[in-house]
A and B are shown apart, each in its own frame.
Chain A
Amino acid sequence: EVQLVESGGGLVQPGGSLRLSCAASGFTFSSYWMTWVRQAPGKGLEWVANIKPDGSAKNYVGSVKGRFTISRDSAANSLYLQMGSLRVEDTAVYYCARGWGGFDLWGQGTLVTVSS
């Protein structure tokens, strides 16, 4: 089955760190750009970061630059988002999505809550 499954969300204090994972299956993971998108409670979708198929290029939204790092492991068919210096405003459901612009496959999302 073609799918993406996120994990790693949870409750973390401001200033803390968290690593999200996204396991891909059913397609050739190493051929696709991959993307993280988030949705804060009651808010709209926000593009967070993407990574080239070979991992050689990474792009971030301004609000997470220097704090978040996107990476991938093609041997494990997995995408990651290392999040540091977390802020209350990073609270959101984080989705991984396949593709560069037309995100045609999405995971079910994992909730990250930043609160003291």
Chain B
Amino acid sequence: QSALTQPPSASGSPGQSVTISCTGTSSDVGTYNYVSWFQHHPGKVPKLMIYEITKRPSGVPDRFSGSKSGNTASLTVSGLQAEDEADYYCSSYTASNNFVFGTGTKVTVL
């Protein structure tokens, strides 16, 4: 099972928006609506930001939103804030009855 493909980096100025893509195949992202996004500050514990493509857990700001088109899922962070600077990972359920993470994207707030 190959990792889902994410861009290595993304950046934006405070207040701007940044969108991160997560590209898989018809065996994972393209078929199943079980795509999640995690925020990971180095040295800290990963945090669930989005699940089932678009759903936000309680406490996650509505600046974070998810979507999917075909084999690609996306996470958009609107109104960028300094604390949004972190690594972001997508994950998806797969046809092999397991899960796969993305390669990770480092978001920098300029």
Tell me the A residues contacting B by CB distance below 8 Å: 35, 37, 44-47, 50, 59-62, 95, 97, 101-104, 106-109
Query: A44-B3, A45-B40, A45-B101 in contact; A104/B48 too (CB < 8 A)?
Result: yes
Give chain A residues whose Cβ lies under 8 Å from the Cβ of B27. none
Docked-complex contact A50 and B99, CB < 8 angstroms: yes
Query: A101-B51, A101-B52 in contact; A45/B98 too (CB < 8 A)?
Result: no
Give chain B residues whose Cβ lies under 8 Å from the Cβ of A108. 45
Stretch at the interface among B9-17, B18-26, B71-79, B89-97: B89-97
Docked-complex contact B51 and A45, CB < 8 angstroms: no
Tell me the B residues contacting A by CB distance below 8 Å: 1, 3, 34, 36, 38, 40, 45-48, 51-52, 55, 57, 87, 89, 91, 93, 96-104
Residue in A61, A101, A104 whose beta carbon sits within 8 Å of that of B91 in the complex: A101
Docked-complex contact B102 and A60, CB < 8 angstroms: no
Given contacts A44-B104, A46-B3, 18 further A-B contacts (CB under 8 A): A35-B99, A44-B89, A44-B101, A44-B103, A45-B46, A45-B91, A59-B98, A60-B98, A95-B45, A97-B46, A101-B34, A101-B51, A101-B99, A102-B52, A102-B57, A103-B38, A104-B51, A108-B45
Docked-complex contact B1 and A61, CB < 8 angstroms: yes
Docked-complex contact A47 and B97, CB < 8 angstroms: no
Docked-complex contact B48 and A62, CB < 8 angstroms: no
Give chain A residues whose Cβ lies under 8 Å from the Cβ of B36. 101-103
